[in-house]
A and B are shown apart, each in its own frame.
Chain A
Amino acid sequence: MLEQILIAILAGIVAGTFTGLFPGIHINLVALLLFVFASFFLRFTSPIVLAVFIVAMSITHTFLDFIPSVFLGAPDEETALSVLPGHRMLMEGQGYGAIKLTTIGAFFGVLIAIALTPFFVATAPIFYPFLTKIMAFLLIAIITFLILQEEKKMWAFLVFMLSGILGLTTMNLTVIKQSLFPLFSGLFGTSLLALSFLQNVTLPKQKIKKIKLDKKDTVKTLGLSIIASSLVSFLPGVGSAQAATIASALKKFNEKMFLVLLGAVNTITMLLSFVALFAIQKPRSGVAVFAGKFLPFLNHQQLWLLLMAGLFTACISVFLSLFFARVFSKGIVKINYRLLCLSIILFIAFLSLILSGPFSLLVLLAGTAIGIATSLIGIKKIHMMGSLLLPVILYHLI
């Protein structure tokens, strides 16, 4: 059994590295494939081993998916203000440093999630039923708060509504499969890549140097990540970027701390989504849905086995993340950046065609156009989560 678990962790790390580094390939897709072929795998192993694979893949993914996010789709100077701190650091030649910060956050995030688990298990069953009753109003309050944070409030509202209408129409388009794939790839992936391509961005030489962090600030940031991730863990459609923005409104962060926070929120949320399977018997992420199918009656021992698998994976993922960040830092300035962006856009369009069907290209186009407009207007991309939040709010209200 131990051997099988170790193999599952290693296989999960390989799969998570693949999904994390390749834009457009999501862990949900691999988890779905595992579910489709589950009857084959279950001839040789047990459901807990498949669940361990999913946890290992998910944790590795949360460490590594910052690498393409930071190194690809960089903006030009005019639009740099609206982008994430990771892109700003990349344009200053500190792409490696940005990844190092998210990796630090992600690793401590795993430790925090494990420490939080007993508290989460004890309180989630009490809070969750109450939260579901006021879900729509809570989401509206969060959206209003995020829009009011912007200088261009009307534009932020317009982007939220436009993304929301796109989300609603896409979810009702019955001739496409996996509708979230073209939707999110367009809004958050190809839009940045297309902008880099259109604006002919050239990257500065990347420096690999040590990053100094203020210990007090780091501890405070990690503390706030607990509040931010509890928002994400309970509320559908609220992502780590929104949670980090809300947390940054409670305490002003510098760029470095924002990246630490983002890394921490990402992994805490991911691990707690598996804990939710035990605490409230509800999956809180796409991959947790599949883990829940393998372990419909997750017990205490199985939960802690999954958490320990997550911790073991996190230790290895730290090295993997820094290794690939170094590779990207050295390689990214040597290749034709425009050509790379164009190749990835075409690859995502091809994936969309294969996975979701020909009509998904229209969704991809609409999402890309909204994403480009958001960057050019100069507001945060989190407002595009309206694509998920508006349908969720309407579902709870109607």
Chain B
Amino acid sequence: METRALLKLALVIALVSIFIIAILADRLEPPTRKIETINEKNLDEWVKIQGRVTQQKEYETLKIITVNDGMASIDCILPKEFNILNLENNNVEILGKVIDYKGNFEIKVAKIKILKIQK
């Protein structure tokens, strides 16, 4: 194939693929899983969990919420950009990456959805 034609084809494929990846990134999410199934194999992986916030701790640059799904619980780290008030006793859905902090697995939250607001 001629160099110019190959270059054009490569650029078109790159642009179209990036466009499709961007759409998929916006629309696709991993399936919801049980907290107890999260282990070292999932380090740095995206996971989605649902559960009740049993505890909330505030720090200068972040919030840590403990989410329990009835079987197990996990600490979820919310960066300071998340402008959420008290989540305690609310049911939430969390999408984030599994990280290891001093031997414990935690979720670094990318998205949080409140499923049911406790009155």
A166-188 near B? 1/0 per residue, CB < 8 Å: 10011011110110000000000
CA distance A323 to B29 in the complex (A): 47
Name the A residues within 8 Å of B14 (CB-CB): 162, 166, 366, 369-370, 373
Judged by DSSP, the binding face of B is helix
Q: Contacts A177-B45, A296-B102, A370-B14; is A170 near B30 (CB within 8 Å)?
A: no
Nearest CB of B to A257, in Å: 31
Name the B residues within 8 Å of A6 (CB-CB): none
Name the A residues within 8 Å of B45 (CB-CB): 177
Nearest CB of A to B38, in Å: 13
Name the A residues within 8 Å of B15 (CB-CB): 162
Indicate if the CB atoms of A173 and B28 lie closer than 8 Å.
Answer: yes
CA distance A233 to B84 in the complex (A): 37
**Chain A contacts with B in 61-92, Cβ cutoff 8 A:** 78-79
Nearest CB of A to B13, in Å: 4
Contact of A346 with B by CB under 8 A:
no
Tell me which of A308-316, A325-333, A357-365 binds B. Answer: A357-365
CA distance A396 to B71 in the complex (A): 37
Name the B residues within 8 Å of A373 (CB-CB): 7, 10-11, 14
Nearest CB of B to A345, in Å: 15
User: Per a CB cutoff under 8 Å, which of B17, B44, B46, B110 touches A369?
Assistant: B17
Instruction: Return the chain A residue nearest B97 by Cβ.
Output: A174
Contact of B61 with A by CB under 8 A:
no
CA distance A79 to B3 in the complex (A): 9
**Chain A contacts with B in 9-35, Cβ cutoff 8 A:** 32, 35
Contact of B43 with A by CB under 8 A:
yes
Q: Contacts A169-B25, A376-B3; is A370 near B20 (CB within 8 Å)?
A: no
Most buried by A among B1, B21, B100: B21
21 A/B residue pairs, CB under 8 Å, sorted by A: A78-B3, A162-B14, A165-B22, A166-B14, A169-B25, A173-B28, A175-B28, A175-B29, A175-B30, A198-B6, A359-B28, A362-B21, A362-B24, A363-B21, A365-B13, A365-B17, A366-B14, A369-B13, A369-B17, A370-B10, A373-B11
- Other A-B contacts than A78-B3, A170-B21, A376-B10, 12 sampled, CB-CB below 8 A, are A32-B43, A170-B25, A174-B25, A174-B28, A175-B28, A175-B29, A177-B45, A178-B44, A362-B20, A362-B21, A373-B11, A376-B3
B residues near A (Cβ < 8 Å) are 1, 3, 6-7, 10-11, 13-15, 17-18, 20-22, 24-25, 28-30, 40-41, 43-46, 48, 95, 100, 102, 110
